[in-house]
Amino acid sequence: MKSMINKAIAFIMLGVLCVSLAGCGGSEPDLEITDLAYAQAQGIMGGISNTDPEYANEFLEMDDDEVADFFKNYGYTIDGKAFKNGLDGWLSLADEFGGIQSISEPEMTSDSDSITATFEIIGNLRNGTSVVVMDKRSKITSITTSAEYTLAEDMSKAGLNTLLGMGTTFVILIFLSLIISLFKFLPGAGGAKAKQDKMAAPMDNAVSQIAEREEIASGNAMDNDALIAVITAAITAYEAAAGNTVSSDGFVVRSIRRHY
């Protein structure tokens, strides 16, 4: 019995060891941060931060491949679109920084897929961060720049966005309400109901007359000729309201039956 327990424990330990070895073998080591990666990140950041806005427009108007070829002549491997996006993002935040006092040396980090260089930016009005990302071949694939805002500024922006969203929603609802309220002025809107009411009015009057005559003649034999005249008048009025012309001899009331 004791030997079976020992064997079971041994199998469990072997399984745990196999799982541990498999996990270690599956994880790839972090990429080596080479001098080339460091130099590329520092050089491209210096180029973006010192690019004149007018000269920057020439880059933004170039094709992605043209930008990549341009930097290739100077020993840089960079995605053309990534550079244009990074340059455009930097220019959009230039006023936010209010002039650059200094840009720190890059803080280099890496994982199994990429190398990241992070620059701290000190501005006259506010600080920020620029991040340059490179792939396994040290090719620059992404450049992003962000500014740091105070909590009050973040709350102010969030409140403004909320007000704009709610205001837009209410404006659209009011506009839809106005459109719906104008439907009654469209040709034919409500006309069918008015025509039905007009057609039903003579019939209602005739029914009222018949009811009055039956009340008056209760207990006595009803004058069939008078009742026929009333029904004939009601039918004629109903057809006339519907736009149909009916002559007095166009129909015949053959019999009248009461149901009590």
pLDDT at 39: 92
pTM value?
0.53
pLDDT at 161 over 70: yes
Distance of CA 57 to CAs 60, 164, 222, Å?
5, 32, 102
Domains and CATH numbers, the chain: 35-152 (3.10.450), 188-260 (no CATH)
pLDDT at 178: 87
121 contacts 98 by C-beta, under 8 angstroms = no
Question: With 50 as the cut, is the pLDDT of residue 219 above it?
Answer: no
Task: Report the distance separating Cα 46 and Cα 35, nearest Å.
Answer: 16
Which pLDDT tens digit goes with each residue over 75-85?
A: 899 999 999 99
CB 131 within 8 A of CB 117: yes
Q: Please, are residues 117 and 106 in contact by the beta-carbon 8 Å criterion? A: yes
pLDDT digits (tens, 9 = 90+) for 40-82: 999 999 989 888 888 888 888 899 999 999 999 988 999 999 9
Please report the pLDDT score of residue 19 as a whole number. 47
Q: Model confidence at 152, in pLDDT bands (50, 70, 90)?
A: confident
What pLDDT score does 104 carry? 93
Are the C-beta atoms of 126 and 97 separated by less than 8 Å? Answer: yes
Percent of the chain beyond pLDDT 70?
Answer: 66
Q: Which residue has the tokens 């170039």?
A: 62
Does the pLDDT of residue 172 top 80, yes or no?
yes
| pLDDT confidence of residue 237 | 72
